[in-house]
Amino acid sequence: MEQHHTLAHVLRQEQLRYTNQRQAVWDEIKSTDAHRDAEEIYMALRQDNISVSRATVYRTIEVLVKYKLINKIDIGDGRSRYEHANNTEHHDHLICTNCGKILEFVDESVEELQCDIAKKYGFKLDYHIHQLFGLCKKCK
Amino acid sequence: MEQHHTLAHVLRQEQLRYTNQRQAVWDEIKSTDAHRDAEEIYMALRQDNISVSRATVYRTIEVLVKYKLINKIDIGDGRSRYEHANNTEHHDHLICTNCGKILEFVDESVEELQCDIAKKYGFKLDYHIHQLFGLCKKCK
DNA sequence: CCTATTGTTGAGAATGAGTCTCATGGATAT
DNA sequence: ATATCCATGAGACTCATTCTCAACAATAGG
Ligand SMILES: [Zn+2]
Ligand SMILES: [Zn+2]
Ligand SMILES: [Zn+2]
Ligand SMILES: [Zn+2]
């Protein structure tokens, strides 16, 4: 699967312009499974001598989140983190409150229960945040 | 149960000083089941002609969260909300993305599954955030 | 009580992530 | 090519929250 086409096609479909900057930001986020914030992504681009402004990084992230190419993760420390959603199934996160390590987990039972809960209260579920905080194996 | 003693005792136990301002903030938060942000709590105090500075509201909230007299709720809109934890059992939240309505739910099965997940990954669980976003009965 | 000690408060400055503005540039269509 | 109009960059701006520091007030000891 040529990843290059994914972004271009999404943008074209949404009547947005395909630009080098948007491709660069997307490439950068795709390049790792890390959960990085906007500043880290921006600095990584600078490191590679790719010139994209901070504003454009933020604006591109907004687009990528909107069209679900990336996921936004908020661990409650005042800045949002992002991960690519390429070939990944839905998952939630375990976060170590000591070292900051982020693990991913998948639990179908919980996902189903969430649907039941929403139904019970008459909600039409859109998305959810489910994060377990504690000490990881090393830190405890 | 005299609520007045609760805060005084917690503060004394933690070698913190019992002040009128801290009591006033705690009283204000206790007075409703709403999920309010710091500014709303501050304004409510002013409305009642109680003089507590914004800084003290923030600082007191920090103490109250630390000693679990109140819970912090982050619905991802850039400001934290708070609810008192007086005679309430643990619950999580359903949030309407259209009108902002916040409902509470309790689900023992999910709580147990969370323990299992943490155990599976070697985490010592401390707390969790579980929020279901979507449209409420009225908005959908 | 009086005093010393030390944590707390208030006012406003500072911080910092994220957003906005606007002139310039580049993608796309004809 | 040319026109159209969205995207970009630089920096100003916003807004919740935190910090600073001088004045103050809660406890402890005498
Ligand atoms: Zn999930
Ligand atoms: Zn993840
Ligand atoms: Zn829960
Ligand atoms: Zn609640």
Per-residue pLDDT reduced to its tens digit, B39-63:
999 999 999 999 999 999 999 999 9
Q: Relative to the alpha carbon of B83, which ligand is closest?
A: 4
**Looking at residue A80, what is its pLDDT?**
97
One domain for residues A12 and A71: yes
Residue of A nearest to B75 (CA): A129
One domain for residues B72 and B110: no
Q: Which two tokens stand for residue B128?
A: 């969790």
- Burial class of residue A26 (count of CB atoms within 10 Å of its CB; 0-12, 13-18, 19+): buried
Q: Say how far apart CA B25 and CA B44 lie, in whole Å.
A: 10
CB contact under 8 Å between B123 and A117, yes or no, is no
Q: What CATH number does the domain containing A127 carry?
A: 3.30.1490.190
Domain assignment present for residue A139? The answer is no
Domain assignment present for residue A100? The answer is yes
One domain for residues B70 and B15: yes
**Looking at residue B109, what is its pLDDT?**
98
**Looking at residue A100, what is its pLDDT?**
92
**Looking at residue A47, what is its pLDDT?**
96
Give percent of chain B with pLDDT exceeding 70.
96
Evaluate if the CB of B59 falls below 7 Å from strand C: yes
> b/e map of B101-121 (b: 16 or more CB within 10 Å)?
bbbebebeebeeebeebbeee
To the nearest whole Å, the CA of A57 is away from the closest chain B CA by 19
One domain for residues B56 and B99: no
Give the helix/strand (H/E) hosting A65. Answer: helix A54-66
**Looking at residue B3, what is its pLDDT?**
46
Query: Among B110, B124, B137, whose Cβ lies nearest the Cβ of A134?
Result: B124
Q: Which residue type sits at B99?
A: C
pLDDT digits (tens, 9 = 90+) for A4-18: 458 999 999 999 999
One domain for residues B99 and B119: yes
Spatial CA neighbour of B86 closest among B104, B69, B103: B69
- Full strand arrangement of the beta sheet holding A124-135: A102-105, A92-96, A124-135, B124-135, B92-96, B102-105
Q: Taking a C-beta distance cutoff of 8 angstroms, is the pair B8, B27 a contact?
A: no
Q: Say how far apart CA B70 and CA B64 lie, in whole Å.
A: 6
Residue of A79, A98, A117 to mutate when probing chain B, most B C-beta within 10 A: A117
pLDDT-derived band at A103 (thresholds 50, 70, 90) equals very high
One domain for residues A37 and A72: yes
Q: Taking a C-beta distance cutoff of 8 angstroms, is the pair A103, A20 a contact?
A: no
Q: Which domain holds residue B6?
A: 2-84
Taking only Cα atoms into account, the Rg of chain A, rounded to an integer number of angstroms, comes to: 17
Q: Say how far apart CA A18 and CA A120 lie, in whole Å.
A: 43
One domain for residues B69 and B22: yes
pLDDT digits (tens, 9 = 90+) for A68-94: 999 999 999 999 999 999 989 999 999
Q: Relative to the alpha carbon of A107, which ligand is closest?
A: 1
One domain for residues A27 and A76: yes
**Looking at residue B84, what is its pLDDT?**
97
**Where is the domain boundary, B84, B110, B125?**
B84
**Looking at residue B1, what is its pLDDT?**
44
Evaluate if the CB of B16 falls below 7 Å from strand C: yes
Measured in whole angstroms, the distance separating CA B86 from the mean position of its chain's CA atoms is 10
Residue of A nearest to B104 (CA): A121
